[in-house]
């Protein structure tokens, strides 16, 4: 995990998940409550190569996943915006997972 700050000075922790996708935990700029953003940084949409042609995606691959182009005008919500109370509710389940491997 790498701890840094955003260009606006908010704490930011960057890390990768099991699929090597970039993730982060970031302090929120929300003025009405203390909150964090947590989750994957990029939705990285993909489609099965076998279905790509059906959806107009050009590829030479015949198996596996291929990138599925999405217009820059489309937004994906990939991170949760949680306040302290919500984190408090989730935390016991995360601790149990750490200790037992179960939720």
**Do 66 and 54 fall within a single domain?**
yes
At residue 37 the predicted structure's pLDDT band, cuts being 50, 70 and 90, is very high
83 shares a domain with 36: yes
Cβ contact 39:52 at 8 Å: no
Q: What is residue 73's predicted lDDT score, i.e. its pLDDT?
A: 95
Contact 78, 43 (CB under 8 A): yes
Give the count of domains, the chain.
2
Which of 57, 22, 20, 56 lies closest to 38 in space, CA to CA? 22
CA 19: distance to chain centroid?
11
> What is the extent of the structural domain holding 66?
43-73
Q: Using one digit for the tens of pLDDT, what is the confidence trace for 56-100?
A: 999 999 999 999 999 989 999 999 999 999 999 999 999 999 999
For residue 48, the model assigns a pLDDT of: 97
pLDDT tens for each residue of 1-25: 999 999 999 999 999 999 999 999 9
Task: Say if residue 38 is in the same domain as residue 4.
Answer: yes
Mean pLDDT of the 40-52 span: 95
Six-digit token pair at 19? Answer: 């699929």
- 28 and 2 in a single domain? The answer is yes
Query: Would you state the pLDDT for residue 36?
Result: 98
* Residue 69 and residue 57 in contact, taking contact as beta carbons nearer than 8 Å: yes
Per-residue confidence (pLDDT) for residue 51, from 0 to 100: 95
User: Is residue 22 domain-shared with residue 67, that is, in the same domain?
Assistant: no
Phi-psi region of 101 (alpha: psi -120 to 50; beta: other; left: phi over 0): left
């Amino acid at each position: 995990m790498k701890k840094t700050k955003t260009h606006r000075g908010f704490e930011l922790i960057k890390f990768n998940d099991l699929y090597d996708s970039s993730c982060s935990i970031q302090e929120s700029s929300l003025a009405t409550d203390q909150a964090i953003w947590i989750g994957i940084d990029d939705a990285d949409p993909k489609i099965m190569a076998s279905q790509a042609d059906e959806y107009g995606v050009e590829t030479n691959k015949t198996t596996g996943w291929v990138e599925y182009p999405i217009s820059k005008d489309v937004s994906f919500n990939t991170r949760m915006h949680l306040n302290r109370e919500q984190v408090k509710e989730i935390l016991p389940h995360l601790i149990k997972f750490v200790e037992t491997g179960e939720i």
